[in-house]
Structure 1
Amino acid sequence: MVARSRMGGPWSRAQRVARAFQDAGHEVTLAWGDDGNCADPVAPTLEIPVPSPLGLPEAIARHTFPLASRLGLMGRKPVHSFEEVLWLTGALDERYTRAAVDILRAHMRAARPDVVYSEFSLAAVIAARVEGIPCVGSASQPTTASYASNPRKSAGIRRLLREMGMPAPASSLTILEGMRRRFIPSCPTLEPHPEERAVYCGFLDEPPALVPTPRDCALIYLGAGSVPAGVAVRAGRELAEAASCDVYVAGVSEAVHAVGDHEVTCTPRCDFAELLPRARVFVHHGGQNSMMDSLSYEVPQVIVPGRVFERQFNAEAVENARCGLTVRASKPTLIARAARTLVDEPALTSGIRGVRAELSSLGGGARIVREVEKLIS
């Protein structure tokens, strides 16, 4: 899945899956787009087009959406289903899908891969089906049509499928659900109702070894566009005072603020693998990768999901599993108060170790490879 908006999750997961197949001795090609997210590919690449948000002309979308993200305007619009995410990013636009499918089909005819893995790419699933190549891919409960959908957004996809002589389901999400296997990078505790043909695989990579490290800081990452950068910075200042520690705020302009004896370091990007072992608490937007990173380092998490369905699902799952707390309103004082509560009340995060062990036991990327090898043998 490629998109003009900043979203590191799909590319990160695709890279991890590609590396797992390479480690097992398979050749891999990564389909990628020049969207600002796809960097440092671990395998040879095939370039595919990047959709324009809402299907708008590229010249308009390229300037409008980054501005909306910086101002936090995107977070004001409720997003009720993954079908709406695909529509917002332009992935349901008929012209875009046709162009992406044509490029993917041409590559498949030339290379004849044994299997296609879709990281939430409709074009990849459609192209593989037309070319008669087995298709598998990533899955999650909140991205299924039974969880939530908006078929009105998929009219263009239905026209394209009918033109290609393929079944045209009401919801585009049904296309993803038709893959031969779907792999959930989670566990039954966090996603208790798997779909048909779904396989839990837990952490995609082996979780890090946990060594005794002073927990001397807090980390904030509230995503791109969901929350204005100023809110994230103010939350960092209030958290530094409430938790009496240094705070790192990622995804904002570079700056350093003194708060008493502590500092709030603001940065566009940070090394989560360096900071999470030191973190007392991780405040984030509820993205899948952020949630899993927090669990892999056994860090209590405060989730600020905003009005996005999947993040709300993740936040509820984390709270029910006693791994963190949810803050529904993106207000700095509420965020800092919830983080301080987690630090002061260990019982609220008593489930972290058990969930981490469950995720670690499910096989990760190696499990995906084994299942695919069985499927195509």
Structure 2
Amino acid sequence: MTHTQQESSASRLFEPARLGGIGLANRLVMAPLTRNRAGADGVPGELMAAHYAQRASAGLIIAEGTTPNAVGQTYPHIPGIHSPAQIAGWRRVTDAVRAASGRSPMFLQLQHGGRVGHPDTSGHLPLAPSVVRFPETLQTPGGLRDGVAPREMSARDIRSTIADFATAARNAVEAGFAGVEVHSANGHLLHQFLAGNTNRRTDAWGGPAANRIRFTVEVTRAVAEAIGPERVGVRISPGADVNSVEEGDTEDLYAALLPALARVDPVYLHVVHADPQQPLFSRLRKAWPGTLIANPALSREEAAADGGMERGERLLAEGAELIALGRGFLANPDFVERLRTGAPLNEIRPEFLMHVHGEEGYNDYPVLARL
């Protein structure tokens, strides 16, 4: 074994860990990755079952953003979890992962796009906190389209959407998932409620930070009541401008959100774009009483060099318990083994990342035994 291999195998990333009552083989989490490989009806098929089974060496798999209802769909071929066929499709996926690993638990990310959606894709006018048009283009079945002005959610819309998240969580457990991740990040619906530029409401769901956090907290509470808080995680992306959101008061916003979420007691908090050199991460770690999953912000060069190991180890040293990585798992079915042994990593083929629907660039990345 080379010196580099010895250093890799000794990393804390490969230590067993626990997530609530769940034992994990290592501290590496496969981050949720949108890949547009479900059927046109949002049903996961054998292609997705094979993809996740290939990556079953992860300590925890967080499956890709999945819509809790039809109006929440973002792009074509995004999976859902609101129909019997979708539940059955996801059951095939979780069964395949268990058969491949014997233990690798899976959580399902529940993602409602809010204004990040288009009638040509979902058949519905998007719903959002306020009538603020998505200023970017969106992929639809007919090609790229300009974003549309969403309909502002009424109190009834808010209540029914919260109920849909709770139902989706129960459906996920029926489909064999160990739990769900409530997606309150990256400019999707829950994050749109948090962000000042997309939430211009003047009622109890808008205005000061104490009101803007309410939707994320109520969704998380409803999901926890449906399946138990030990089965629920929450994803946040403080300060991120993904999908053209601008929070405006990040420090105050998350100072209010984290204690409110902690009272619901989800099993983890998942921080996206985590940077161990930024004071914000340290403040988030100190404010969160439970398990923290850190998803480091990686340049393409860093991801290609070591898959994120150095950043991951620094985040562990700063108090994270688990490290979520995306790019490495995307291109390397045997990502954990490659990191453990110091083997070279496959290069990502970006032309197959999204809005293509076959095996190429998805399930055909080589594993070490084939090199």
Q: What band does the TM-score fall into relative to the shorter chain?
A: under 0.3
Structure showing greater Rg: 1
Normalising by structure 2, report the TM-score: 0.26
